[in-house]
Amino acid sequence: MATSKLVSNTQTLLKYMALEQKGSIMAEYIWIDGTGTLRCKSKTLTKAVKSVDELPEWNFDGSSTGQAPGDNSDVYLRPVAMYPDPFRQHGNILVICECWDSDGTPNKFNHRHEAARLLAANASHKLWFGLEQEYTLYDEHNWPYGWPKGGFPGPQGPYYCGVGTGRVMCRDIVEAHYKACLYAGIQISGTNAEVMPAQWEYQVGPCLGIELGDQLWMSRFILVRIAEEFGAKISFAPKPIPGDWNGAGLHTNVSSEEMRQPGGMKHIEAAMKKLEARHVEHIAVYGEGNADRMTGKHETASYDSFSWGVANRGSSVRIPRAVAREGCGYFEDRRPASNADPYQITGIITETLYGGLPA
């Protein structure tokens, strides 16, 4: 996809962004399309709302997003979570929506619906999730930002948690994203430069149940939207550059109330057995192109088999050293790829630990 340098004038834009809205607010309705890519459109509300239930349902042309056939193209947007809008500010909001078909069933690509039901059915376990979102910044030629044109930087080593010119790229985007997430009320818990130059990570969580998926998708929207302003592209590809360059993951940290209590280690170990038995089912929803990333090298495990270990970054699941020492806490599922859907991840983990929905 070609990008063109927009003739933009930030100073002039700011003058209009500060204008009074005469009581109306702008709501940006956001959803996930048939390819796992974000879409959005704006709606004026004549007054502010206090909760998401007050937001009207809306619709869009699903034949333009790969979500519906042309002869029955209406897909409905049902608001499920809202956040203060860091772009427009002034009481305007960002809204995460579920997609529903006209016959009253969830759209084929609405993975939130099932996950929300699984998590609600198991609410008593008080599942917390904390995800580590890795991503790569690309320039307009779809090459990692700041890499020599058509060439490669020096080998990995100096870049992870790096400081300084030539070691990190685009810190301005990372800083803007961090602040904007805090403004929006996203529980962003930190950020760091990654092993491959132009690759970064931020963490969201721990969040209770379905809130993790909502917040992570919102944090991705904010990231992609900010990068648009800076003229960079966000890639969630699991293995952006083949060879001796780290891939990008979405490490998923998980705990139930039982696991967090003293003696919780036995619940974590029981979870390992359950996860092992369903490795194939998990891998199926842990992101596209993940086999290229999970080579057994670069801090990944093998794609084909399940393993777990204390402090082992080469296993499918890692128990942090401190958790093993204290005998309770959480585990880290290192298998999900950076492009995986957090609704599918949290949904299948819940199902594997506690069983599916009653028929």
Question: Which residues of this protein are in contact with ligand ADP, per CB under 6 A?
Answer: 128-130, 132, 189, 203, 205-206, 251, 253-255, 260, 329-330, 332
CB of 66 to ligand ADP, least distance (A): 31
| Structure token pair of residue 271 | 């979870």
CB of 228 to ligand ADP, least distance (A): 25
**With binding defined as CB under 5 A, does residue 251 bind Mn ion?**
yes
When CB distances are held under 5 to 8 angstroms depending on the partner's kind, the choice from Mn ion, ligand ADP, none that residue 205 binds is ligand ADP
- Identify which of residues 98 and 332 has a Cβ nearer to ligand ADP in the complex: 332
- Identify which of residues 72 and 89 has a Cβ nearer to Mn ion in the complex: 72
Contacts of 75 (CB under 8 A, 6+ apart): 59, 60, 61, 62, 65, 67, 68, 99, 100, 101, 102, 107
Question: Is the Cβ–Cβ distance between 115 and 213 less than 8 Å?
Answer: yes
- Identify which of residues 224 and 317 has a Cβ nearer to ligand ADP in the complex: 317
- Identify which of residues 205 and 264 has a Cβ nearer to Mn ion in the complex: 205
Question: Is the Cβ–Cβ distance between 223 and 134 less than 8 Å?
Answer: no
CB of 320 to ligand ADP, least distance (A): 7
| Structure token pair of residue 135 | 């991503």
> CA-CA distance, 149 to 146, in Å (whole number)?
8
Residue 225's SS3 state is helix
CB of 71 to ligand ADP, least distance (A): 44
- Identify which of residues 68 and 218 has a Cβ nearer to ligand ADP in the complex: 218
Question: Is the Cβ–Cβ distance between 317 and 332 less than 8 Å?
Answer: yes
Provide the CA 345 distance to its chain's centre, in angstroms: 10
Question: Is the Cβ–Cβ distance between 189 and 239 less than 8 Å?
Answer: no
- Residue nearest Mn ion, Cβ-based: 251
Question: What x/- string results for residues 131 through 150 when contact with Mn ion is judged by CB under 5 A?
Answer: -x------------------
Question: What x/- string results for residues 193 through 232 when contact with Mn ion is judged by CB under 5 A?
Answer: --------x-------------------------------
Burial profile 205-229: b = 16 or more Cβ within 10 angstroms, e = fewer: bbbebbbbbbbbbbbbbbbbbbbee
CB of 130 to ligand ADP, least distance (A): 2
- Identify which of residues 52 and 272 has a Cβ nearer to ligand ADP in the complex: 272
- Neighbouring CB atoms inside 10 A of 260's CB total 17
CB of 318 to Mn ion, least distance (A): 7
List of residues contacting Mn ion (CB under 5 A): 132, 201, 251
